[in-house]
Amino acid sequence: MSAIAIQRIGVVGAGQMGNGIAHVCALAGFDVLLHDIDPAKVDAALGLIERNLRRQAARGLIGEADVTKALAHVGKAADLADFKTVDFAIEAATEDEQVKRKIFKALCPHLKPEALVATNTSSISVTRLAATTDRPGKFIGMHFMNPVPVMKLVELIRGIATDEATFQAVRELTLKLGKTPTAAEDFPAFIVNRILLPMINEAVYTLYEGVGSVEAIDTAMRLGANHPMGPLQLADFIGLDTCLAVMQVLYDGLADSKYRPCPLLVKYVEAGWLGQKTGRGFYDYSGPAPVPTR
């Protein structure tokens, strides 16, 4: 099966990652069905996709005709049974292994036998997730970066059972989406998050231990390391719950104390201070400009 055979794509999960994946697939000319357990999230995602496409057009990145064509390519799937016609399905739900397993068990009976399946997990074992499906050879990790329409990289992760034909088909698909694929082995958190999340966790420890304030830490890394965004600001953008989940996967999977999640990160998540999506994390987003919370 090659990327040429992939024309219809199903996306499960209409959150930040799911709507971004649907956006780039539709813009590349693929027919896309978007599903979420909460139908209101699908409607919100479709509205966001249109706004983001128009923003791209206003900046001259795409034409107005591209906006119209892309919007015509994306639609709603009221139920997973609607995925019976898709050639490729990708799960983009919350970073929780049990949630993902439940989705794949519900999804696979509705797919045609030749359909490929991917997970957008940023840290969880692709091999374990594949084992919950009826097609581990046709299963792969396809980890997009956030925000999907902007970021160029996609990590491709083979599970132990992933067929070479599956890998090559998804690699070709990645290129058709205008992204750059990189192959990562199926180890906890893969490449990007294996390096990035411990840095963020260390920034939280630096705050926890009183070495610097939120503002001092982010300013130091922006100006001292030339990072476009400070690590605590980036954590808020990613979502502190996601940061904690990835650190827990690293800590559990590699059994090394250097990956122990910072207690302050745990406290923020327990408080429901998850970053931008809840209006409060290491910064308070309730006013006209973000204000550090510590």
For the question of residue 122 being annotated catalytic, the response is yes
| Selected catalytic residue, list 120, 123, 125, 193 | 193
For the question of residue 125 being annotated catalytic, the response is no
Sign of CA dihedral 151, 247, 94, 154: positive
Return the axis-axis angle of helices 263-270 and 240-254, rounded to nearest 10°. 130
Please tell me what DSSP assigns to residue 211: S
Please tell me what DSSP assigns to residue 123: S
Nearest to 155 by CA among 184, 129, 135: 184
d(CA 32, CA 9): 5
Which single residue is written with the structure tokens 């970053």? 275
Nearest to 114 by CA among 158, 174, 166, 167: 166
d(CA 114, CA 97): 25
Residue 164: half-sphere exposure toward Cβ, Cα within 13 Å: 0
Pairing mode of beta strands 283-284, 116-119: unpaired
Burial of 205 from C-beta contacts in 10 A (0-12 / 13-18 / 19+)? middle
Phi first, then psi: what are they for 126, rounded to 5°?
-70, -35
Give the E-state strand segments of 28-122 in sequence order: 31-35, 74-76, 88-91, 116-119
For the question of residue 143 being annotated catalytic, the response is yes
| Selected catalytic residue, list 19, 125, 143, 201 | 143
For the question of residue 114 being annotated catalytic, the response is no
| Selected catalytic residue, list 19, 35, 95, 155 | 155
Helix (H) or strand (E) holding 189: none
d(CA 41, CA 57): 24
| Selected catalytic residue, list 19, 122, 125, 201 | 122
Could you tell me the end-to-end alpha-carbon distance of the chain, in angstroms, rounded to an integer?
53
Please identify every residue annotated as catalytic: 122, 143, 155, 193
